[in-house]
Structure 1
Amino acid sequence: MAIQFVEGGATAARGFTAWGMHCGIRRNTSKPDLAMICSAVPCSAAAVYTQNLVKGAPILVTKEHLKDGTARAVIVNSGNANTCNADGVEKAERMCRAAAKALGIREDDVIVASTGVIGVPLPIEPIENSVSQLASLLSKDGSLEAAKAIMTTDTVVKNLAVKCTLGGKTVRIGGIAKGSGMIHPNMGTMLCFVTTDAAVSAPVLDTALRAAVDKSFNMVSVDGDTSTNDTCAVMASGLAGNPELTKAEGEDYEIFAGALLELCTALARMLAKDGEGASRLLICTVTGAKDEENAKKAAKGVICSSLVKAAMFGADANWGRVLCAVGYCGAETDVGRVDVSFASKAGGLSVCENGAGIPFSEELAKKVLSEDEVTILVKLRDGDARATAFGCDLTYDYVKINGDYRT
């Protein structure tokens, strides 16, 4: 069975339940702000975090809890990042303690996360007062509710799952994610919680997660700002009954790693398309690079360029900005041999060959670049490596959203 997308999100995998509710962090009572995911059995677990030197307190606590490679639950709030607060670690620990008590599990088996405004003390009482109710509401159909509860400026819920076959057993991998702004390569305010019923050892899970994140979430940029709270965590219940993956090699590992990458890439695309104020998803695919590192540099360079993003907002085929970004991004290439083209469901057109402009129809270019998903194709002539990065256009609304985010 090939990798297939299925319903269920983070609760598609056997053993997992989830839910989300409003507890009182947000003033708007119509917006849920507290989510929980729980496994019926102990799980192997792994996570990757922001590379920002400023890290949210929940990351510090979660890192400690995952040192033994096990977890059973996730507790996460939105509306407040619990970052740069003197009492941040204490409150993150209190969140874990409350969740553990409500679920009847060990405190250090809880993954904790927060997202929202930075530098404002987290009101912990609303969380502590609501965790028992949230735990009682956990459902096999609750992934969508949990996904809603972790949203901040997101406009689209990110809730997906895939299935594949390992050792003759059907395995599901599901996840929820949030992130719309403050997103940039090296984990961008992005949270992602993945569950699977595959039997996978914690070291192998860690290897597969890092490989998937490197080609998905780390290839996303919305605005060039790397958040303080980014976390991507995965728990594996083993309830699918496949032979446990204990080595990061072999056919079953490659299938699992491929399915995890497929899920993470789909979520990454959703994050980029839902960038704050965005009107279109930008995809930059670089081919012909001397190696993967240079392909990634070039693809990220184009996606991160404010001038490219602004041109795409205006549906302006200003290919010189693309070439310019390739030139300053640090990729080793001969810019005099670079080709650039644009493509969307409205068609495609070449605009640059061998580092120089060629005649093209401005009318067709306008149509191609006016679609809600636009691909920028950059062809180098240095080798066979390729990479793809995901981003969005830069609109007036991005400034409006971030001009008064705190107040």
Structure 2
Amino acid sequence: MAVGLSELPWMHPIKGVELGTCCAGIKYPERKDLVVVRVNAGSSIAGVFTRNAFCAAPVQIARQHLSSQPEYLLINTGNANAGTGDAGYADAMACCEALANQVGVTSDRVLPFSTGVIGEPLPCGKIIQSIPDAVAALDEDGWKDAAQGILTTDTLPKGASLTFEVDGQSFHITGISKGAGMIKPDMATMLAFIATDVAVAPNVLQQLLATACDRSFNRITIDGDTSTNDSCILMATGTAGNPLLEASSGALYEALLSKLVELCQQLAQAIVRDGEGASKFVSLLVEQASTEAEALDVAYTIAHSPLVKTALFASDPNWGRVLAAVGRANISDLDVSRVQMWLDDVRIVSNGGRAESYREEDGQRVMDQDELLIRVQLGRGEASEQLWTTDLSHEYVRINAEYRS
């Protein structure tokens, strides 16, 4: 059950972007599983992709096509087309060519994306046969259907939409994402598709996306597994009519970056809230580290501890598990006497040991909540980092044990 995740908000259409969704029957009959996105010719498109060495065929092709001024995205769920070798690459290209022929562009103007089971042949016949239906459904108001059409084990679609003003001019940014398991950063940890009507030069757009991903999608983890198919795409149509944003500075740049980070954090946290089997939404804040990398290392050591995650599932204030995780993080000269720790506002560790003020009932009160904060101070410096994670439940095991059935 998703933790504090509601139905999709209203998704503001982005002029110059259309989305069409249909059912191709890739894994389940009568389920929306194929999405086509059309973006105005001349738009800027940026992408960030998985660093997994076994990256899927569509990821390889999308990277190659990104520099060819893409006009279409082709997204399927139900099959990842990863671990499929040369045949998978040929299948992904065949799907790109089918869409290109349907809409009258060259195949390098198509970016493919897939999500689902790894290692199984892509049913490209079903996809190719259904492309005309997805194209026929293209609509500026197609965001809601597309958010539904990219899901795998997600229980709810995920989307966000923001409006902001700079010098009296209004701008918009809208995005959708999917992901619930096999979630751990090494770029963006899921599929996400975001669009804005701001006119932005491609190099600046790429910088904006990379920064936003590092502050959002690269700060979440469900299970520590980085997927083979992670992709995050940002499209800028320029239909708002502003002069082209060509510098990484100025009021418009700062406003766009702020809103992009905000939107990406909403999408990223929605993934955590809908984590497979999740019953807790947990914020992890590590402060007073010597470097940001050190703070992240400690935070991920806590987040990936099966003992911490199962204690969270049990609502058990077994704070010793958190303390042990901090101690085994990659800090060779940690002075444990300077470590402080809290559950929300409850101090549990002071100067490396149990806080004198700590009472079990106070810790239990926090652990009984659906949402909580674990805050750690290392007493080593001024760097801090925050990430978001979940507990580990029986349901997570069931979902992944039955994933191919």
TM-score in terms of structure 2 length: 0.93
Whole-angstrom CA distance in 1 between matches of 2:217 and 2:374: 19
Whole-angstrom CA distance in 2 between matches of 1:277 and 1:188: 21
Give the conservation status (yes or no) of the 8 Å contact 2:59–2:112.
yes
Amino acid at match of 2:274: D
CA deviations over 1:301-344 (Å, ceiling 9, x no partner): 2222221111111111122222222222325753321211112x
SS in 1 for 2:40: strand
SS in 1 for 2:386: strand
Amino acid at match of 2:315: A
1:240 matched to which residue of 2?
Answer: 240
1:402 matched to which residue of 2?
Answer: 400
1:88 matched to which residue of 2?
Answer: 88
| Alpha-carbon shift at residue 48 of structure 1 (Å) | 1.0
Q: Are positions 1:19 and 2:20 aligned together?
A: yes
Amino acid at match of 1:399: V
SS in 1 for 2:380: coil
2:343 matched to which residue of 1?
Answer: 342
Q: Kindly tell me: are residues 313 and 172 of structure 1, through their superposed partners in 2, closer, same or farther at Cα, counting changes over 3 Å?
A: same
Whole-angstrom CA distance in 2 between matches of 1:383 and 1:155: 41
1:3 matched to which residue of 2?
Answer: none
CA deviations over 1:265-291 (Å, ceiling 9, x no partner): 111111111111111111101222223
Q: Kindly tell me: are residues 106 and 7 of structure 1, through their superposed partners in 2, closer, same or farther at Cα, counting changes over 3 Å?
A: farther
1:328 matched to which residue of 2?
Answer: 328
Give the conservation status (yes or no) of the 8 Å contact 2:151–2:178.
yes
Q: Which moved more, 1:356-365 or 1:194-203?
A: 356-365
Amino acid at match of 2:25: G
2:205 matched to which residue of 1?
Answer: 205
| Alpha-carbon shift at residue 226 of structure 1 (Å) | 0.9
Q: Kindly tell me: are residues 199 and 357 of structure 1, through their superposed partners in 2, closer, same or farther at Cα, counting changes over 3 Å?
A: same
| Alpha-carbon shift at residue 40 of structure 1 (Å) | 3.2
Whole-angstrom CA distance in 2 between matches of 1:239 and 1:310: 49
Whole-angstrom CA distance in 1 between matches of 2:102 and 2:367: 51
Amino acid at match of 1:12: P
Whole-angstrom CA distance in 2 between matches of 1:267 and 1:333: 35
Q: Which moved more, 1:37-46 or 1:303-312?
A: 37-46
Give the conservation status (yes or no) of the 8 Å contact 2:290–2:383.
yes
Amino acid at match of 2:13: A
Give the conservation status (yes or no) of the 8 Å contact 1:167–1:242.
no
Q: Kindly tell me: are residues 246 and 26 of structure 1, through their superposed partners in 2, closer, same or farther at Cα, counting changes over 3 Å?
A: same
2:391 matched to which residue of 1?
Answer: 393
Q: Are positions 1:114 and 2:110 aligned together?
A: no
SS in 2 for 1:222: coil
What number of residue pairs does the alignment pair up? Answer: 395
Q: Kindly tell me: are residues 42 and 101 of structure 1, through their superposed partners in 2, closer, same or farther at Cα, counting changes over 3 Å?
A: farther
CA deviations over 1:137-188 (Å, ceiling 9, x no partner): 1122211110111100001211111122345422211111111111112146
SS in 1 for 2:126: helix
Whole-angstrom CA distance in 1 between matches of 2:109 and 2:368: 48
Whole-angstrom CA distance in 1 between matches of 2:33 and 2:161: 23
Give the conservation status (yes or no) of the 8 Å contact 2:13–2:174.
yes
1:285 matched to which residue of 2?
Answer: 285
CA deviations over 1:67-88 (Å, ceiling 9, x no partner): 24x3222110000001111311
Give the conservation status (yes or no) of the 8 Å contact 1:16–1:140.
yes
| Alpha-carbon shift at residue 192 of structure 1 (Å) | 0.7
1:32 matched to which residue of 2?
Answer: 32
CA deviations over 1:89-111 (Å, ceiling 9, x no partner): 11111222222233333322222
Amino acid at match of 1:47: G
The aligned runs of 1:59-78 (5 Å cut-off) are 59-68=59-68, 70-78=69-77
Amino acid at match of 1:83: A
TM-score in terms of structure 1 length: 0.92
| Alpha-carbon shift at residue 8 of structure 1 (Å) | 4.7
1:229 matched to which residue of 2?
Answer: 229
1:97 matched to which residue of 2?
Answer: 97
Out of 344, 347, 352, which is 1:355 matched to?
Answer: 352
1:319 matched to which residue of 2?
Answer: 319
Question: Normalized per residue, which structure has more strand?
Answer: 1
Amino acid at match of 2:341: V
The aligned runs of 1:248-259 (5 Å cut-off) are 248-259=248-259
When the two chains are superposed, the root-mean-square deviation of aligned CA atoms in Å is 1.8
Q: Kindly tell me: are residues 65 and 357 of structure 1, through their superposed partners in 2, closer, same or farther at Cα, counting changes over 3 Å?
A: same
Whole-angstrom CA distance in 2 between matches of 1:168 and 1:71: 31
SS in 2 for 1:80: coil
Whole-angstrom CA distance in 1 between matches of 2:36 and 2:334: 47
| Alpha-carbon shift at residue 241 of structure 1 (Å) | 1.5
Listed as ranges, the gaps of 5+ residues in structure 2 are: 1-7
2:4 matched to which residue of 1?
Answer: none
Give the conservation status (yes or no) of the 8 Å contact 1:273–1:282.
no
* Structure 1: 4+ residue segments shifted above 6 A: none
2:185 matched to which residue of 1?
Answer: 185
| Alpha-carbon shift at residue 189 of structure 1 (Å) | 6.1
Give the conservation status (yes or no) of the 8 Å contact 1:13–1:195.
yes
Give the conservation status (yes or no) of the 8 Å contact 2:20–2:136.
no
2:130 matched to which residue of 1?
Answer: 130
2:365 matched to which residue of 1?
Answer: 367
Q: Kindly tell me: are residues 41 and 167 of structure 1, through their superposed partners in 2, closer, same or farther at Cα, counting changes over 3 Å?
A: farther
Give the conservation status (yes or no) of the 8 Å contact 2:50–2:189.
no
Q: Which moved more, 1:274-283 or 1:89-98?
A: 89-98
SS in 2 for 1:152: coil
SS in 1 for 2:316: coil
| Alpha-carbon shift at residue 384 of structure 1 (Å) | 2.4
CA deviations over 1:43-68 (Å, ceiling 9, x no partner): 11111111111110000100110124
